[in-house]
């Protein structure tokens, strides 16, 4: 319902601060119980249940489709923090998440929150994602993920839409490869859209107390 703490406090006859504490305590319990649901599947499982559209275009090689999404936050009072959280892409203060979706449509990796100014490349290389890759894995990504060298070090491959790179037009093969990629990358966009619709907190402006992590290893929003 996305109700405010003030509203919930009025409904249950408790203070706003008490409501906030209860919310964070419940969130912590849910995190402890449900965090194991996000798992990286075994390669054999991925291959055995590979959807037809992926098999036709990429064989059994696709392991994960990756993307980043941002959540609006309040403006931090600290100037340095404000600068780090400002996203030039969204023109707003944000936190940014890296997400990996299996060809079957399940979430198999999600990072901790990074500041909105962080690049897709930086988040990919510092989120722990690369540790999951096996030799021969194929990752499907968007143009912003300049991670070819990092992925190659894991003996894996990343495929992205083609760039013009000064050319007047793309080669016909590049056009066809980009079309195939676009047809399957829509799956990750649908999953992100579903997350935003199901969990209203991801489509609203977060208060900074959910983003700050001065004394705890895990930020409230990462739960």
Structural domains counted in the chain: 2
Quick: pLDDT tens for 116-163.
999 999 999 999 999 999 999 999 998 889 999 999 999 999 988 777
Residue 19 three-state SS: helix
Structural domain including 164 reads 38-222
26 and 57 belong to one structural domain: no
Separation CA 110–CA 1 (nearest Å): 24
33 and 70 belong to one structural domain: no
16 and 68 belong to one structural domain: no
The two beta strands, 92-101 and 86-87, are antiparallel
122 and 163 belong to one structural domain: yes
Which of 146-150, 196-200, 216-220 is most confident? 146-150
pLDDT at 93: 94
How much is the pTM? 0.85
By the 10 Å C-beta count (0-12 exposed, 13-18 middle, 19+ buried), 219 is classed as middle
75 and 139 belong to one structural domain: yes
27 and 100 belong to one structural domain: no
30 and 42 belong to one structural domain: no
pLDDT at 91: 92
28 and 110 belong to one structural domain: no
26 and 95 belong to one structural domain: no
Quick: pLDDT tens for 31-73.
888 888 899 999 999 999 998 888 888 888 889 999 999 999 9
Quick: pLDDT tens for 152-177.
999 999 988 777 666 667 767 777 77
pLDDT at 206: 86
46 and 115 belong to one structural domain: yes
DSSP 36-101: GGS----HHHHHHT--HHHHHHHTT-EEEEEEEEEEEBPPPSSHHHHHHHEETTTTEEEEEEEEEE
């Amino acid at each position: 319902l996305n109700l405010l703490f003030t509203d919930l406090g009025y409904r249950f006859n408790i203070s706003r601060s008490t409501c906030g504490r209860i919310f964070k305590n419940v969130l912590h319990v849910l995190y402890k119980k449900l965090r194991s649901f996000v798992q990286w599947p075994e390669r054999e499982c991925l291959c055995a249940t590979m959807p037809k559209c992926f098999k036709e275009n990429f064989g059994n090689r696709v392991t994960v489709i990756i993307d980043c999404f941002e959540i609006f936050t309040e403006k931090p009072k600290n100037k340095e923090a404000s600068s780090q959280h400002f996203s030039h892409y969204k023109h707003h203060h944000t936190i940014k998440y890296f997400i990996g979706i299996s060809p079957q449509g399940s979430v198999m990796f999600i990072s901790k929150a990074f500041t909105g100014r962080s690049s897709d490349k930086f988040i990919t290389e510092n989120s722990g994602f690369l540790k999951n890759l096996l030799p021969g894995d194929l990752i499907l990504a968007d143009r912003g993920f300049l991670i070819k060298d990092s992925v190659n070090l894991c003996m894996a491959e990343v495929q992205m839409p083609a760039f013009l790179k000064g050319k007047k037009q793309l080669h016909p093969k590049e056009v066809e490869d980009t079309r195939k990629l676009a047809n399957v990358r829509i799956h990750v966009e649908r999953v992100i859209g579903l997350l935003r619709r199901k969990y209203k907190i991801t489509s609203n402006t977060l208060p900074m107390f959910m983003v700050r992590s001065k004394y705890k290893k895990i930020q409230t929003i990462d739960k």
